[in-house]
Amino acid sequence: MLLTPYCFLAMILVFGLLILYIRIITVNFHAMGPLAFLWMFVFAFLIMNVARMFVCSLYTLLFPPPKTPERFLSEFPRTAILYTVRAESCGLFERMEYTFRNNYCGNVDLWIASGDAPESFLAYELSVLRRLQRRFGEERVKRFHVSDPAKKKREMMEQWLKEHGHHYRYFVNCDGDSLLPENFLLKLLRKAAHPANRDVAIFQASIRIANAKTHYSHLQVVGNRIGLRLYVATEQNAFGRGLYWGHNALVRIDSFIGVSIPPGVLSHDIWETAYLDKAGQRTVFCPDVVSFEEAPANYLESRKRSARWAKGTLQSWKLIFDGGISLPSRFYVFDGVYSYLSNLIFLGWVYFGIYLEKTSIWSDMVGMRYITTCVVLSIVFLHKLAAARGVRDVLSIFHEIFISTILSMNNLFYTSLALLQMPFHKKSVWVPMKKDPRETLSFKDTFLNFWPSTALGVGSTFVAFRFAPQWGICSIPMLASFLLSIPTIYFTAKIRTGEL
């Protein structure tokens, strides 16, 4: 069968080596010193992500999305829908009512696991609880409070499982912004009942974006849809397993309750996926079961969330070398670590190119250098079209590519900055994303938060076209992203027309 882990990874390696060869032939090896060799080594490291983009887009065109088998239920097992919340200030009742109303089946209870928060937030949670109990009954809606401020989402789940998990066979863990549509639970329980899925501990549903009121969050709708089709579904096909995202998934309690992860980790979902794999239990991605969550309303909130995710993901690097974990799970762990570290590595690699521009490292094949750059950028920007299903999709993707390029390339600077600051911010604190879909940014706030990348863009543009023009031409997408960051971030934080 073509779609196997080794075949998939081999295709990435082969295509990456092909691009590397095209680049190598433009190098004057006689003039290469140790630093130039290092530059080429980093290029080889970074180009594998471009190769992955190409291979995933190819597989998306050739293979249908995966589908986990189901069977009809002879009985409805005891199941809990568990919302873990902390310091939430709006929308909880509406989200929970929507979820429970659409999955109100026999033997299903709704739980609110409440973390430590100021009294005003706890009072709001209690008012939500009372409204839900009036709607569905006190015996079906319950609250569990954890007063220890040091306990994060994972510790709250552990305590709930210890005290109440024995009453249920399954639970669905939800974040404060989770929305589970009609028959979500029924579909996943049918999959869990199929004999072929006995070794599956977690059934991860597809997660789409809801309540996209701003231009920025609407871009996340398109980008999220592309990512699910191109990467998540393809890698589920290739590996026969996926990655747990920590929410909007059905979990077997008897498998999950035995997983003991190190204390203090932020991205508990990565560790849970790996440790379950080590115990012979899979996590599968189910693209045919849809759920919803909310996206950050603006790039500033997205940047804060990304910094939290980066810290949690980098904590998992040891799992790459942990014995007993399968190749696919190692790939998922490595891919997460790679995705954040590559920002800092790529930024340093790009700027080191200014120095190389003044050396004799390059041969006279200037045209080939531009061809290589065009090939790489074409894959980076156009591989998303493989996820298109019609003309409307194509137009949406082109719009997303144009605007998101300006925004996302700022991640090179701000994610790198967050990584460099991590050693000085060792305390791990769970700070949930703001859940106001209509939150905008003033121009003052935008300027104060994003002037550093604009200043870097101005300085880099001057240096490039004064001292290294060829480097400047190849770096136009990045330089344009830095220069246009403030107006783009400001205007994409506006409410979309018709969303008031």
Residue 201 lies in a domain: yes
Query: What is the predicted pLDDT for the residue at 500?
Result: 40
Q: E-assigned strands of 135-192?
A: 141-145, 170-174
pLDDT band at 398, cuts 50/70/90? confident
Residue 500, Cβ neighbours under 10 Å: how many?
A: 7
The pTM of the full predicted model, rounded to 2 decimals, is 0.92
Residue 296 lies in a domain: yes
For the chain, how many structural domains are there in total?
1
> For residue 157, what is the domain's CATH number?
3.90.550.10
Residue 485 lies in a domain: no
SS3 labels along 4-58: CHHHHHHHHHHHHHHHHHHHHCCECHHHCCHHHHHHHHHHHHHHHHHHHHHHHHH
What tokens does 400 get?
A: 């997303």
Q: For residue 118, which amino acid is it?
A: P
Question: Of all residues in the chain, what percent carry a pLDDT higher than 90?
Answer: 63
Question: Residue 499: is its pLDDT beyond 60?
Answer: no
Look at 99-103, 361-365, 378-382, 391-395 and tell me which has the smallest mean pLDDT: 361-365
Question: Residue 12: is its pLDDT beyond 90?
Answer: yes
Look at 112-116, 119-123, 204-208, 400-404 and tell me which has the smallest mean pLDDT: 400-404
Residue 487 lies in a domain: no
Beta bridge mates, 284: 203
Residue 270 lies in a domain: yes
Stated as kind and residue range, the H or E segment containing 207 is strand 200-210
| Structural domain that includes position 250 | 79-302
Residue 225 lies in a domain: yes
- What is the three-class DSSP state of 208? strand
Residue 433 lies in a domain: no
Residue 416 lies in a domain: no
